[in-house]
Structure 1
Amino acid sequence: MALAARGEPEPPPPAKASVATTEVVRTDLSDTRTLPGTLGYGAARPVRGAGEGLVTRLPKTGAAVRRGTPLYWVNDRPVPAFFGATPLFRRLDKIGLRGRDVTMVADNLTALGYDIGPRSSPAARVSRVSRVSRAKPLPGDVLTAGLRAALKRWQLDFGLKPTGTLDLGQVAVLPGPVRVGSIQARLGDPAAGDLITVTRAVKVVTVPVNAVDVGTIRRGMRVTVVLPSGDEIPAKVTAIGAAVTDGGSDGTVPQVNVTVTPSKGSDVKAVDSARVEVRFTVKAREDVLAVPVGALLALREGGYALQLPGGKLVAAETGMFTRGMVEVSGSGITPGLTVVTSS
């Protein structure tokens, strides 16, 4: 052992600091987000009656509503459900009337199996317009003799007087198959008012999503719903709301409701309403090279590099960041490459 100038032994040289290392791995990366949601039948919408008369019979809560079946009764006459996007907004009684309400009636009678004859072609829908006014014709079908005859046959089969005409309040137009959510009217109330509410026919999960994040979610996206029991079931995004609402307890975070539908209704048959969690995979990268984020070394001139145990730097292009890992690529970066990491 060497002696110092005063006869004392010299201290041993400092040990080399050990560095943590990791390896570049080939893997799949995904960015998942879990959000709370509510399982149920979705938001209820009111059904408003029209026309004259008194309500004499109402459906039961939870009843399924199908096309062509009675929804409620006015003056002891059934009011059937038709499906469509346009309500009956006028009396349909004259051959030659044109409009989307006529299209709605034609679509429903056809779906119920009635032959309405030839439908008006796009060319036939162009009305005889004054060359001076050049007014645009109404869109939709024309009430033809064939359609009116089919209407009479349906009315006769349904137990109604076969007039071949439809008046306000004689059908209830709904967006599609639904279920009765609640009863608002009482027997003897005027028909022209809010009578019942309806909901979706199948159970869905409503998920409030921050408006700034909803762009990462798309219709048809596969997701996973975690039930209160802990069971995980497959589902997919079926609708993204257009309305932005205030969210959070302080109402400062705008949100959009996203509708998620379980792939199999039997998975949620035993649950009427519950708080659940929905796991979204909003981004995925398959078969890529990755390292822990701590292995990235920021360069003074910009960009990133990986450091080898001997000190050499290897330039790295970065891709997806998720859950502490980062996608990397570049010359010399291969699976199994050992690099320095801070974590």
Structure 2
Amino acid sequence: MNRRGRVLWSAGALVALGAGGVAAVGFGGGTPSPATAANLPPATAKVASTTLTSTERVTGTLGHGPATPTPPGGAGTVTWLPAPGSVVGRGQPVYRVDDRPVPLLFGATPAYRALTSGVTGADVRQLEENLQTLGYGGFTVDTSFTAGTATAVREWQEALGVAETGTVQATDVVVAPGDIRVAELKAQPGAKAAGAVLTYTGTTKVVTVPLEVGKQHLVAPGVPATVALPGGKPVQGEVESVGTVATTEPIQQGAGPKTTVDVVISVADQASLGDLDSAPVDVLLVSGRKDGVLAVPVGALVSMGEGRYGVQVVESGTTRQVQVETGLFADGQVEVGGAGIAEGVEVGVPR
């Protein structure tokens, strides 16, 4: 094969190389090959110092995140339920049992015991913080349930229209980190409240990605992600949380089982999500990033045989072939290095 044949642009092979991974492949030092003007490439590009970012495309769902069931509502009968999609704020009823409102309180500690005079603990502070925010006082916000706390509880119970006992039972309230959005009704009016009455989510829209466990290395809280909404509109977000419980999907025809964890991606600019409440979306996760590297278009790589690659350096109307070491492939660019490779060097590319 003549010299011109040896420098033909192997576009198909190079695309396959770029798609196959991002690990650096070493080819050793380059040996210049003199050439004539007859071998000039159809077009040229300059070696540039740049930042390369490689991404992984995954699919997710725009919604309000995983739903949480309410704890059992006790032995009474459900007498009222909110509509799915309703938003419930602090102090407002999540549902009614025996025509008694079960209000929402904010906090991280679930209601698990009766709170009454003499009890101490973090859940007491949580109750007192809620009472204070709702406008009740006469006590010190601390971990002790005092007579002043009991008086405030009775005043609160009077406003709710329930028995003024001064004690808060575990089934008297629902505790969540903030406002909740009703997701699904698990009971109907007239049913016993012994199990979960409904499920709820947060009120902020997020994207949930069932990520294959083999790709967990791509994500961590704070990692940036780009969400492509229906129609292709890009929205910037970041990884909020990575699930710790893996789920294995059933085996489907032609495919083996897939084990995933839920990754939640938050979007700060909620207005950018428009009126969509739920939609399938594509998500771009950053799988690799290098700053200040030398790069050329992937099409500039020339096969030198035996798994080696080079570039055709163009100087003063002639060319010479220089072997290069390749690194990260991203966005049609490839990281290159080697003797004679520097920022501004002109290399041949296909037109």
Q: Residue 74 and residue 253 in structure 1: after superposition, are their counterparts in 2 closer, same or farther (change >3 A)?
A: closer
Hey, what does 1:239 align to over in structure 2? 241
Separation (CA, whole Å) in 2 of partners of 1:242 and 1:58: 32
Match for 2:242: what amino acid?
A: I
CA RMSD of aligned residues (A): 3.5
**Structure 2 residue aligned with 1:164, among 148, 163, 166?**
166
* 1:44 and 2:67 correspond: yes
Structure 1 stretches lacking a partner, 5+ long: 1-13, 121-140
**Residues 299 and 305 of structure 1 are in contact (CA less than 8 Å); yes or no, is this contact kept in structure 2?**
no
- The size of the alignment, in residue pairs, is 307
Higher helix share: 2
Task: Give the whole-Å Cα distance in 1 for the aligned partners of 2:331 and 2:236.
Answer: 23
Deviations 1:231-273 (A, max 9, x none): 2223332222111112473453321111123333333343232
Q: CA deviation at 1:340?
A: 7.6
Per the alignment, residue 73 of structure 1 pairs with 96
142, 147, 155: which is aligned to 2:144? 142
> By how many angstroms is 1:64 displaced?
0.4
Q: Which residue of 1 aligns with 2:330?
A: 322
Alpha-carbon distance, 1:339 to partner = 5.5
Task: Specify the SS of the correspondent of 2:156.
Answer: helix
Counterpart Cα distance in 1 of 2:329 and 2:4? 29
Report the counterpart of residue 126 of structure 2 in structure 1. Answer: 104
Q: Give the structure 2 partner of residue 272 of structure 1.
A: 277
Superposition pairs for residues 280-291 of structure 1, below 5 Å? 280-291=285-296
Report how far residue 184 of structure 1 moved.
Answer: 2.1
Cα pair distance change 1:182/1:253, threshold 3 Å = closer
1:185/1:196 contact within 8 Å kept: yes
Kept in 2, the 8 Å contact 1:206–1:257? The answer is yes
Q: Contact between 1:295 and 1:342, CA under 8 Å: does it hold in 2? A: no
Q: Is the 8 A contact 1:296 1:341 kept in 2?
A: no
For the residues of structure 1 that align with 2:4 and 2:111, how far apart are their CA atoms? 82
Conserved? CA contact 1:295–1:339, under 8 Å: no
CA distance in 2, matches of 1:115, 1:329: 70
Over 3 Å counting, the alpha-carbon distance change for 1:201 and 1:333 in structure 2 is: same
Question: How far has the Cα of 1:305 moved from its partner?
Answer: 7.8
Q: 1:334 aligns with which of 333, 342, 346?
A: 342
1:257 partnered with 2:262: yes
Tell which structure's C-alpha radius of gyration is larger. Answer: 1
Q: Conserved in 1, the CA contact under 8 Å of 2:218 and 2:286?
A: no
Q: Counterpart in 1 of 2:108?
A: 85
Between 1 and 2, higher relative CO (CA 8 Å, sep ≥ 6) is seen in 2
Output the TM-score relative to the length of structure 1: 0.75
Judge conservation of contact 1:41–1:201 (CA < 8 Å) in 2. yes
Give deviations 1:11-49, integer Å, cap 9, x for gaps: xxx975374666422333111222111122233222233
Instruction: Kindly provide the CA deviation profile for residues 32-83 of structure 1, in whole angstroms up to 9, marking residues without a partner as x.
Output: 2221111222332222333332222111121101111011112222110112
Measured against aligned partners, the alpha-carbon deviations of 1:249-302 in whole angstroms (never above 9, x if no partner) come to 3453321111123333333343232211112233333443113566489999xx
Partner SS, residue 131 of structure 2: helix
Contact 2:185 2:199 in 1 (8 A): yes
The structural deviation recorded for 1:158 is 3.0
Q: 1:209 aligns with which of 186, 206, 211?
A: 211
Match of 1:29?
Answer: 52
- 8 A contact 1:297–1:307 mirrored in 2: no
The secondary structure found in structure 2 opposite 1:160 is: coil
